[in-house]
Amino acid sequence: MPIADPTLRPNRLIALLLSAAMIVAISAHQADAQTEGDPDAGGKLAQTWCENCHVVAPSQQRATSTGAPAFTAIAAMKSTTFMGLRAFLQTPHDRMPDLHLSRDEIDDVAAYIISLKK
């Protein structure tokens, strides 16, 4: 049985640590890549479909309906994520009309809301 070279052990540890760091970096990049929509297109959609009930832009003073949260308030919530918004916008809700948005439009609106995070 060959005797293990003790100088190889630190190299293996370094390689293992570098591999772990790369996995973490790739995972973080994939999480960022989940914001697939176009925020500019989402802002235009929000102005067309959402601003009757929501304050959709920071410059908008108020909406016609009360009780619907402002998009900046939604974006400011710690729990707000792109994937969470996507799921929410695909699910019917009592107070929210079914706008029949396509998946791309949902991604765009979600990207717009995420873009309002400070």
Both 64 and 108 in one domain: the answer is yes
Q: How confident is the model at residue 25 (pLDDT cuts 50, 70, 90)?
A: low
Q: What percent of the chain has pLDDT over 90?
A: 43
Both 47 and 24 in one domain: the answer is no
Q: Give per-residue burial for 69-83: e unless 16+ CB within 10 Å, then b.
A: ebbbebbeeeebebe
Both 20 and 4 in one domain: the answer is yes
Domain that includes residue 2, residue range: 1-33
Query: 14 is written with which tokens?
Result: 């370094």
Both 75 and 49 in one domain: the answer is yes
Both 43 and 72 in one domain: the answer is yes
Both 103 and 76 in one domain: the answer is yes
Both 58 and 27 in one domain: the answer is no
34-84: pLDDT as tens digits: 558 999 999 999 999 998 889 999 888 777 766 788 999 999 999 999 999
Both 51 and 15 in one domain: the answer is no
For tokens 């973080």, name the residue.
28
Both 43 and 29 in one domain: the answer is no
Both 44 and 73 in one domain: the answer is yes
**The domain spanning residue 48 has which CATH number?**
1.10.760.10
Q: How far apart are CA 50 and CA 46, in angstroms?
A: 5
Q: What pLDDT does 87 receive?
A: 92
Q: How far is CA 95 from the centre of its chain?
A: 23
Both 14 and 53 in one domain: the answer is no
Q: What pLDDT does 24 receive?
A: 63
pTM: 0.68
